[in-house]
């Protein structure tokens, strides 16, 4: 399909997008009406929304439309997983200039669709409007399947802190791209790919709930900052040990060497990988790929190897 979305028109564009979006079993009524109707057999629905704005959350010269779709879907589906739920559908609002190539929007839809397929979920509805900057608003719904939701506020002294998924890969990839490394070779290329397409461990969310997680969070803003949310919400202190993160750090050393970055800093403060971090009673036998990285104590705040860590390395959307 050639031409701009302005030439295609709103209804032509929407029809072309819908034609690319298969609907999953949770969708009782899909795109094309005033609203979608989604199955919520559990009697509860998990719901979260995120905005991505061009220039702030992605760059079109660094990420393809397909990658932006993958990333936008992953970001919201990871939030659903972090409640201990399974994603069911996305609703996607797109703001875009009339001059944008229709092909870009179709590739975005393909990315959304394919990331949904990992869960599996589907894109059940949306909206397109004209805007100066490309804006992608993603709402994800999820199903707790009878489980209690795992919040940020249940961590207790004596718990262990564990993570599942990548840490710092997206930050490393961003640093490589910022250093002009668009053509970087493997193994560095994996970090760039991780920046373009996070790979959240979706199944680890419900798994954590089943294992008895007391608190769970999606690492979107950096481990330090996000575990800080758990510490604050739970009224506990969290102690991280970098000797338990050696593997996570080591894998990023080649990238750090290439750009003069700090691999440990990426692991501790890099966001957008959408790993899951949680707290579990010490008695729980955590199966791989969960890795224990610290523990929960009394008090407040977060220390790394016994010292307070300046959490300002995280991501404030207005800083």
- Contact positions with its own copies (CB under 8 A) in 111-140: 124-133, 135, 137, 139-140
Regarding beta strands 160-164 and 291-297, do their DSSP bridges make them parallel or antiparallel, or are they unpaired? antiparallel
Pick one of 16, 18, 42, 120: the residue that binds its own copies (CB under 8 A).
Answer: 42
With CB under 8 A as the contact rule, which of the stretches 66-74, 162-170, 215-223, 259-267 interacts with its own copies? Answer: 215-223
Q: Could you tell me the smallest distance in angstroms from the CB atom of residue 256 to its own copies? A: 28
Q: Which strands, in side-by-side order, build the sheet including 135-143?
A: 122-130, 86-96, 135-143
- What is the spatial distance between Cα 6 and Cα 18, in angstroms, rounded to a whole number? 17
Q: Could you tell me the smallest distance in angstroms from the CB atom of residue 156 to its own copies? A: 17
For the beta carbon of residue 47, count every other beta carbon within 10 angstroms.
Answer: 15
Burial of 100 (0-12, 13-18, 19+ CB in 10 A): buried
With CB under 8 A as the contact rule, which of the stretches 17-25, 49-57, 192-200, 287-295 interacts with its own copies? Answer: 49-57
With CB under 8 A as the contact rule, which of the stretches 84-92, 190-198, 235-243, 249-257 interacts with its own copies? Answer: 84-92
- What is the spatial distance between Cα 70 and Cα 274, in angstroms, rounded to a whole number? 13
- What is the spatial distance between Cα 116 and Cα 122, in angstroms, rounded to a whole number? 5
Pick one of 1, 15, 19, 98: the residue that binds its own copies (CB under 8 A).
Answer: 98
Rule CB under 8 A: say whether 9 interacts with its own copies: yes
Pick one of 74, 108, 216, 304: the residue that binds its own copies (CB under 8 A).
Answer: 216
In the complex with its own copies, the residue whose CB is nearer, 43 or 260, is 43
In the complex with its own copies, the residue whose CB is nearer, 99 or 283, is 99
For the beta carbon of residue 19, count every other beta carbon within 10 angstroms.
Answer: 11
Q: Mapping DSSP to helix (H, G, I), strand (E, B) and coil, where does residue 1 land?
A: coil
Pick one of 34, 61, 185, 243: the residue that binds its own copies (CB under 8 A).
Answer: 34
Closest residue by Cα to residue 61 from 222, 199, 178? 178
- What is the spatial distance between Cα 36 and Cα 239, in angstroms, rounded to a whole number? 44
The DSSP annotation for 173-227 comes to HHHHHHTT-TTPPTTTHHHHHHHHS----TTHHHHHHHHT-SEEEEESS-HHHHH
In the complex with its own copies, the residue whose CB is nearer, 55 or 186, is 55
Q: Could you tell me the smallest distance in angstroms from the CB atom of residue 203 to its own copies? A: 16
In the complex with its own copies, the residue whose CB is nearer, 91 or 249, is 91
Rule CB under 8 A: say whether 64 interacts with its own copies: no
Pick one of 16, 18, 23, 44: the residue that binds its own copies (CB under 8 A).
Answer: 44
């Amino acid at each position: 399909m050639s031409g701009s979305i302005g030439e295609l028109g709103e209804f032509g564009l929407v029809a072309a997008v819908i034609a690319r979006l298969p609907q999953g079993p949770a969708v009782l009524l899909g795109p094309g009406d005033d609203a979608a109707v989604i199955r919520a057999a559990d009697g509860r629905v998990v719901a979260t929304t995120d905005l991505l704005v061009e220039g702030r959350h992605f760059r079109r010269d660094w990420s393809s439309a397909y990658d932006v779709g993958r990333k936008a879907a992953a970001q919201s589906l990871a939030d659903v997983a972090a409640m201990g739920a399974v994603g069911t559908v996305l609703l996607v609002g797109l703001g875009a200039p009339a001059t944008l190539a229709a092909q870009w929007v179709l590739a975005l839809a393909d990315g959304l669709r394919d990331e949904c397929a990992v869960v599996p979920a589907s894109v059940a509805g949306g909206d397109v409007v004209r805007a100066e900057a490309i804006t992608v608003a993603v709402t994800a719904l999820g199903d707790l399947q009878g489980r209690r939701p795992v919040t940020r506020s249940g961590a207790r002294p004596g718990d262990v802190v564990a993570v599942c998924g990548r840490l710092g890969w997206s930050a490393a990839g961003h640093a490589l791209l910022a250093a002009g490394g668009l053509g970087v070779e493997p193994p560095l290329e994996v970090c760039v790919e991780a920046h373009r397409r996070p790979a959240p461990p979706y199944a680890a969310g419900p798994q954590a709930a089943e294992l008895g997680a007391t608190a769970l969070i999606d690492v979107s803003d950096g481990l330090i900052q996000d575990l800080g949310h758990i510490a604050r919400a739970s009224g506990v202190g969290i102690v991280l040990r970098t000797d338990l993160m050696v593997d996570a750090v080591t894998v990023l050393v080649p990238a750090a060497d290439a750009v003069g970055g700090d691999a440990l800093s990426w692991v501790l403060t890099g966001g957008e990988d959408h790993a899951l971090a949680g707290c579990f009673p010490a008695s729980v036998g955590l199966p791989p790929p969960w890795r224990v990285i610290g523990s929960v104590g009394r008090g407040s705040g977060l220390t790394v190897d016994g010292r307070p860590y300046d959490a300002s390395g995280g991501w404030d959307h207005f800083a």
